[in-house]
Every structure is written in C-alpha cells, then in structure tokens.
Amino acid sequence: MKIAFRNLIKQKGFTFINIAGLAIGLTCFLLIGLYIKDELSYDRFNKNADRIYRVSRIFKSNDGTVSLHLGHVAPAFMQHFQTDFTEAEQITRLYGLNSVIYRPENIEKKYQEQRMYFADANLLKVFSINLLSGNADKVLANPFTVAIAKPIAEKYFGKEDPIGKLLKIEGKYDFTVSGVFEPLPTQSHFHADFLMAMSTLNDKRLYGKEEMNNDWGGNNFATYFLLPKGYDIASFEKRTKSFLDQHLPVYDGRKGSEYSDLKFQKLTDIHLYSHLDSEHEANGNIKYVYTFSAIAFFILLIACINYMNLATARSASRAKEVGLRKVVGAVRAQLIAQFLSESLLVTLFALTIALVSTVLLIPVLNDFTEKNLTFNGLFDFEFLTLIIGIIFFTGVLAGSYPAFFLTAFQPVEVLKGKIKNAMRNGRLREALVVIQFSIACILIISTGVVYKQLSFMLNQDTGYKKDQVLLMRVGNSNAIDFESFKQELKRQAGVTNVSQSSRTPTGRLLDSQGARVTKGDSLAPTSTEIKALAVDHDYLQTYQIPLAAGRDFSRAFKSDDSTAYILNEAAVKSIGWKSSSDAINEIFVYGGKRGRVIGVVKDYHFESLHQKIVPMVMFINNSRRNWFSVKLSAGDFQSTIAGIEKTWKTYVPDTPFSYQFLDERFNNQYKAEQKQRTLFVIFAGLSIFISCLGLFALAAFMAEQRRKEIGVRKVLGASVGSITSLLSKDFIKPVMVSIFIASPIAWYAMTSWLTDFAYKVEIEWWIFPAAGAMAIVIAMITVCYQAVSAALMNPVKSLKSE
C-alpha cells in the first residue's frame, strides 16, 4: 500500500483526473441507485405484499377493442366476488373522495381534505397499516366511524386524545374517531389521511346498500384480493368470463364478457407497471428505472475506461519496473496485487468523495424527484453489498489491464524494450475511447430527441385557448345556487366569461354511455365508445373552440337543455358520416336520451398528447357540472382573484377557496418529460466531461511520450499546425467511429421511447451528424490544447535531456 500510495503521488495530475472521474461516476451511480431502490420498494412494506392483487376492469367497444381500462370496479361486484371466489382469504375495497372537514365545536377552522377513503372493515387484515390506538377488529366495523392518520389527529385535536370525538364531513355527517394510525410509507401506491367505515355508504343519504349492490357503472371502488400463498392467479382470470356472463346485465344485446373484462394486478407491480385510466395517485414507470439504471452503469463505465486508458498508456513506462521486480524475485501474483492495490486505492479515494457528494446532493435530488430519499438508504444490507461490489468491480476493471497483461511477459523481453514498443500501437486505447464517446453520443442524441418532443407538446396547437383560464372545483351540494354563482362571477371586473363542465381540458375523458344513430330504417349502436362531457351554454365560447359545422348551444332554444348534442370530428368519423355537415340534425341517442346533433366542433386535445383524440359528445346537464372555468382579461389578476374569492365565500361558504390556472395544469401534464429532459442534459454533459477528462490526460501523456519526436520534427521545419494535426488525428478517428456505432442504438432507443405518445415528432436525420459534430468539436478542443502546447515547446528542452 505504501508503494501504491507513492506511485499515485508521483503522478499527481493523472491521479487527480482518475479520482475526479471515478468520483463523479460513483456519485451518479449512488444517487441513481437511491432513486431506483426507492422505486422498486413500493408496497413491499406490506407483510402479504406477494399475495395481494388488485382487480381492474376493461371496457370493450362493439368491435372488441379496449376503450377504457380502469384500476377500479363497480360496487355491485363485491357481493358476487365473495360468493364466487371463496378461495380468497380476504376481499377489501377503498372508495376515494375529497371533502371539507371540521370539528363541530370549531366551525371556523375548515379544511379541504383530499386523501380520504371509505374502507371495508377487513382493510387492516390485508394491508400492513400500523394502528397506534383503537381496536384493529372494530376500528372500521361501525357506520359513521373514521380512523385518522397521526398528523391529522394533531392537526384537528392537538394534544387531545381524539378517540370518541367527532369530525363533521361535508357539513352534515358526524363521524366518530375510532382509531389513529401511522401514516403510510412514501413507498405506497395510495396514501390515506382518513379511513371511514365502508358500511356508512349503506345509509340512503350517502349511497344505499341496495343501490350499491345494483350499481355496475360507478367504477370508483379499488378492490383487492388476498389470495393463499402460491395460488395460481391465471386460474382466477380464466373464470372471469363465465363470472361476467352470469352476473353482468346484458348491454346493447351484448353479454357481460363481450363488453367488459377483469384483470388481476399484483400489488407490487402497480407503481411501476400500471398506467390505467384511473389510479389512486400518479405511478412511476419501469422504463425510467431501466433508463436510469443504464445511464448510471454507463457513466461509471466511462469513468472506469478513463482509468483503464491512462493505466494502459502508462503501463509501457512501467514495463521496466515489472521486469526488474521479476528479476529480483517477485512472482506474478504479487505484481497483480500491486497493480490492483493501486487501482483499489484510487477507487476508495473516489468513493469517499462520492459519499460526501451524495450526502450534499440528496436534498437536490429530493426536490427534483419529489421524494424523501435519505442517506440511510445507502446502508441497508443489499445496497451496502452493492457498494462494496462496485468498489471491487471498479477497482479490478480499472486495474485489470496492467495487472493481468503486463505481468504476463518474461522479464528479458521487457528489459530489452520489446514489450514497450509492442504496446504503443494503442488499439485497446482506441477501442476504449470509441466506447466512451459512443455512450456520450447516445446521450446527446437522446437529449436532442427528448427536447424536440417536449417542445412539440408544449407548443402544439391544442385547438382551444388555455391562457388566462382559472379553474375552480365546486362540490355537488344542492344548497349551492350554481347559476346565480356563475352570473355573479361574470359580473366581476376582469372576468370575460364563465363556464361550467363535468371535466376540464388537461383532465381525462372517462365517462361514456351507449350511443345510437340511425342506420338504415332503425337506430343501431355505434361501433366505438363516445366519451361524455357535460357542459353549459358558454363552454365553447370560454375556451374559444371553433365549430366545423352547425351551431353552439343557445338559451334561445329551450330544447338545447335536454335534446341537443354537439360532437367532435373524431365522433363524426367513427360513426361513419362523410362530413361534419352531414351530421347536423341527425338523430342521436346517448345514455338512452334521444336528441339531435346541432353542431360539430373541430377536434381539440382535451387530454394530453399521450392520448389520441377520442370521439366525444357534449350536452347540457345541470347536475354534473362541478368545474368552473373562469376566463380572465389581461390586467391585475390578483385583484380579480380577490373578487372571485369574495364571491366564492358568499355562495360556497362551506368549502375553502382554491383555484388553479389551466396553463399550469397543461404544463404539469408533461412534468415527467421535463424532468427527463433535464436529466438527459445533466448526464450527457457529465459523460462528455468525464470522457474529455480522460482524453485530456491521454493526450498529455501521448504528447509527453512523443516529446523527442516533436522536437526533431520542429528542428526539421515542421509547423505548429502540422504537429497539432499529427497528434490530434489519432484521437479524432475513434470519436468518428463512435458516431456510427451510437446512431443506430440511439435511433432504436428513442423510437421505443416515442411509442408512449399518440402525437410525436419524427426523428430527423440531421440530429445524428449534429450530435457527432458536437462530440468531435468537444474532443478536438480537448486534444488540441495539449497538441498545441506540445507543438509550441522549445525543441532544445526536449532534445538536450541525454
């Protein structure tokens, strides 16, 4: 170790570059490793995680294609699951909602809560929820009881014991606190602050037991099965066809299995593999895990290649050292240990720096990923084993060439200089530079494609005006005079229009009912699902959505409130009408309600560009419009919002005022892509930087090796330019080769990535040479600095040494 340390001190510049490169590579590896470890650990805190399955529901169009895949099912399924799937140890459900909550004795302190669920009494027998107070068997057994998370108990009750005390929900229902539980870990696919007894919904005021048992359409219940250990889930799914045919009602002449299907998802697969049309929360993506794992490995590999490159370059100068050691009795195993000890020493220094850097950068990573990663995550057994493995892998890989290749030669050949001359061909070094810059080019090309796709999505014409639109969601309370509220908002200074709708752009179109149109002499169901959007007379004007044919809803026509429909162009096409104008005045039956098509709007991107524009129908429905879209004029937004808040408190006193701007929601749709772009820029930059560190050191070393040759050439009249060209061309060639290797790999990777988007950019040919040119320019700048320095050196200094 002493000799290894002396060798490292002797070559301070190369040692610094090796340690710096490895430290950066290891820091990236550790940070990404923490992120990946967190992503892979979701829901595994549950004791029975490997035996819990969530049932999801598929809806099929008339042509058999999947029109909707929900992570929730209807309440009517439960009674039949319990009688038909008796081998299940437990079946439990969650039904989410959000509501205003306050203590009856503290009516001034009202809170709008989001993470609320009705839960079956056996929930704690399925999920590992740590109950701090209350009886696990009874905590959710009785109607109008609620278990609350510890932070919620402190929020509402302070230091008081909350058990037995009341919380008022929706301003009219009193719930008794029956338990307090530890908050669910971050790594859970759902998070609950309130768990209310599911039996409460049997009350007619909320749902009604009979209504629940006959409701096959309200797909809002997340349903989980706890199956026996080793049970074959495939046998479960095989029975769903007969189950659906037996229990589901016939719909449009189709049996249950012809328009619906059930799938069972493993609990531990939900976070990374499930991206259904309804989820409790936004999930992760296994593609990101694979991508970042590859990036972490490649950046570490680039750093290792730097070490190997410099080690192989310097090994020629250490050939005599090996020969002399062998002459005085050193055996090969001792020499291998010597080289590997130097390599491991460098790796340990780099790891120390990397660990410190990781601690400092974890808060930045948490802000970026919106996670709660900690440094302690590095020290569980699996991760610690991985770190130790990385040290040895990196150390052995980086020191393998001189350790195993150089020590194999006979000392007589080494001392005669035969090996030194043989090792100067640099083929291995060229191959390693090719690998380095191939990885860098792949990341540069990928960054370019991600940037183009994101710019395309953010700047794509959506077909509606999203600027200066303020969104507010109001409950469905009958006590609210929605029309008066709307008219008062329209009178506000700074408000140009107000509209109500069941959903808003940037959301998902999940509601659908059977549609029928005239075919021949009778009405027949359409072959595709047509999504529903309940609106008011001002919806199209507020969003400035243009008509392709017909007219907008009008208060001048009373029939518009009940029998008028407006379709989009995609619906017209799916029904089979030749043009938008052909659809006008056609009979259209939707959800059993007969009417006529009065207008057709041009297709617009209601959902994100991840989804195709789907067939859609708009109609007036006063009972389903709980979203308010307020179009603001340019000016003082703050005073306008203050006025809106004042009106809100007058008409919606029981709900705290909250709002969001539509353009913010629009940008949030592409948050994952924006983060991915940032990460690619960072990692591409780091890969280039580490590669150039190695290239810089390698060029310096090669210039030093050819110092006398350069001196002789200068004496014979060689110019600075010719010497610079001579030294540079050996490095530019492998960089150019790397472009040809990287281009097809990057093209394949980015083509696969773009399949997640219904609307996407084309990967244009110029991206590949542009990325290559960038890599060449960066490499040239790096190498030319050393080449010019060597060419400008006084030849007297390089030739007088002997």
**CA pair distance 122, 139, nearest whole angstrom:** 10
What is the mean pLDDT of the segment spanning 466-474? Answer: 93
Instruction: Write down the pLDDT at residue 77.
Output: 96
> How do residues 39-69 score in pLDDT, each as one tens digit?
999 999 999 999 999 999 999 887 788 888 9
Instruction: Write down the pLDDT at residue 317.
Output: 66
Of 376, 268, 279, 228, which is closest to residue 44 (Cα–Cα)? 268
> How do residues 357-391 score in pLDDT, each as one tens digit?
999 999 998 888 888 888 776 777 777 787 788 77
> How do residues 232-263 score in pLDDT, each as one tens digit?
888 888 899 999 999 999 887 889 999 899 99
CA 433 to chain centroid, in Å, comes to 33
| pLDDT over 60 at 425, yes or no | no
**Do 552 and 537 form a contact (C-beta atoms < 8 A)?**
yes
| pLDDT over 60 at 422, yes or no | no
Residue that the structure tokens 């200074």 belong to: 493
**CA pair distance 154, 193, nearest whole angstrom:** 12
What is the mean pLDDT of the segment spanning 400-408? Answer: 70
| pLDDT over 50 at 565, yes or no | yes
pTM of the model: 0.84
> How do residues 745-795 score in pLDDT, each as one tens digit?
999 999 998 988 889 999 988 999 888 888 888 888 887 777 777 777 777
For residues 19-54, b (16+ Cβ closer than 10 Å) or e, as one string? Answer: bbbbbbbbbbbbbbbbbbbbbebbbebbebeebbbb
Cα separations in angstroms, 219 against 71, 94, 250, 290:
9, 11, 17, 33
Instruction: Write down the pLDDT at residue 711.
Output: 82
Task: Write out the H or E segment, with its range, that includes residue 501.
Answer: strand 495-501
| pLDDT over 60 at 557, yes or no | yes
What is the average pLDDT value for the chain, to the nearest integer? 87
Largest CA distance in the chain: 107
Of 35, 53, 33, which is closest to residue 43 (Cα–Cα)? 53
Could you tell me which residue, 727 or 325, shows the higher pLDDT?
325
What is the mean pLDDT of the segment spanning 101-109? Answer: 88
| pLDDT over 90 at 532, yes or no | yes
Task: Write out the H or E segment, with its range, that includes residue 261.
Answer: strand 260-266
**Do 224 and 126 form a contact (C-beta atoms < 8 A)?**
yes
> How do residues 426-464 score in pLDDT, each as one tens digit?
677 778 788 888 988 898 898 899 889 988 988 889 999
Q: How sure is the predictor about 423, in pLDDT bands with cuts at 50, 70 and 90?
A: very low
> How do residues 655-675 score in pLDDT, each as one tens digit?
888 899 999 999 988 888 888
